[in-house]
Amino acid sequence: MGKVKVATLGSEEEQKLREKQRTAREQKKKREKAGKAEKVHISGMKGGERIKSVGASAEEIEKMARLTEEVEKDQAEGIKVEDKKQKKVKVHVHGKRYKSAQTKIEYGKPYPIDDAFKLLREVSLTKFDATVELHINTIEKGLRGSVTLPHGTGKKIRVAIATPETIDKIVSAIEGGKIDFDALVAHPSVMSKLASVAKFLGPRGLMPNPKNGTISPTPDKVAKKLEAGEVNWKTESDFPIIHQVIGKLSFKDKQLEENFTALLMSIGVTKIKNITLKSTMSPGIKVQF
């Protein structure tokens, strides 16, 4: 028989033996735990898929952690959270005077132009000299042109002329926020300098354009035409609609009718679907043409 190691009760040998046995038991528990499957929750999985059994290896657990992070990231990117409250749309309600004026107009009826101007004066709501407008639906968008209204629009047109002698002063004023003109006519040689202030002129419809004749080698002549009542008309960029002022309510019916006829001849009646006549703040009147 081999030698039997005997430890005396309470001796130092007994304490060492107990410590060795305790360490052995702890290591055994760790090995058993490592051999069992651990449950790991994966965010974003459904039902039973949320719990996955994996080996307790540190490498596999780390992989699952990375997968969880990726799933959560995909969810965060895929779900949009709207924090802003929905804006309430304010519906404009017309007053009693407007509704009363509206009852004088037969709904959907197109009026002859001379009757339309008389009716327009009856339904006008303003105490000042209102602007008379035409809203024209055309058969297509992209239409544009110019016309000299025989009696003008009732508004004095302020025209600036950009030439090599005046361009620096005009550009400086625009950059300083001063735009004191209603139209800008330019000589072709100064267009490169006007490009620096296009961001101010473009949104206001004041950038010179060869299509409407405001770029010309004879800008003085063009300016005189504009001051005399020449207007540029065009359809909206997205819709086949032309909005054009043809005078003031203080004009005589004959003056308004002549301006009306000149505009229609410039556009071409075959390109027009329907016309609505109105003044500032008044109801619209359908017009025969």
pLDDT at 249 > cutoff 80:
yes
DSSP 268: -
Read off the pLDDT of each residue in 15-22 and give the average, rounded to a whole number. 78
pLDDT for the residue 255:
95
Q: Determine the 3-state secondary structure of 276 from DSSP.
A: strand
Read off the pLDDT of each residue in 250-272 and give the average, rounded to a whole number. 95
pLDDT for the residue 55:
47
Read off the pLDDT of each residue in 145-150 and give the average, rounded to a whole number. 90
Residues near 79 by beta carbon (within 8 Å), at least 6 away in sequence? none
pLDDT at 172 > cutoff 60:
yes
From edge to edge, which strands make up the β-sheet containing 272-279?
A: 241-248, 131-138, 272-279, 285-287
pLDDT at 134 > cutoff 50:
yes
pLDDT band of 219, cuts 50, 70, 90:
very high
Look at residues 118, 182, 116, 126 and name the one whose alpha carbon lies nearest to residue 155. 182
Read off the pLDDT of each residue in 218-231 and give the average, rounded to a whole number. 86
For 98-122, the pLDDT digits (tens) are: 777 878 888 889 999 999 999 999 8
pLDDT band of 226, cuts 50, 70, 90:
confident
For 40-81, the pLDDT digits (tens) are: 454 555 555 444 444 445 565 565 556 555 555 554 555 444
Mean of pLDDT over the chain: 80
Hey, what domains does the chain have and what are their CATH numbers? Answer: 12-73 (no CATH), 94-154+230-289 (3.30.190.20), 158-228 (3.40.50.790)
Query: What are the phi and psi torsion angles at 76 (to 5°)?
Result: -65, -40
Structure tokens at 26: 């702890």
What number of other Cβ atoms are within 10 A of residue 35's Cβ?
9
Query: What are the phi and psi torsion angles at 55 (to 5°)?
Result: -65, 155
pLDDT band of 37, cuts 50, 70, 90:
very low
What's the whole-model pTM score?
A: 0.57
DSSP 50: G
d(CA 64, CA 60): 6
pLDDT band of 86, cuts 50, 70, 90:
low
Per-residue burial over 186-206, b = 16 or more CB atoms within 10 Å of its CB, e = otherwise: bbeebbeebeebeeebeeeeb
pLDDT at 176 > cutoff 80:
yes
d(CA 149, CA 262): 6
pLDDT for the residue 155:
82
Return the HEC string of 160-177.
EEECCCCHHHHHHHHHCC
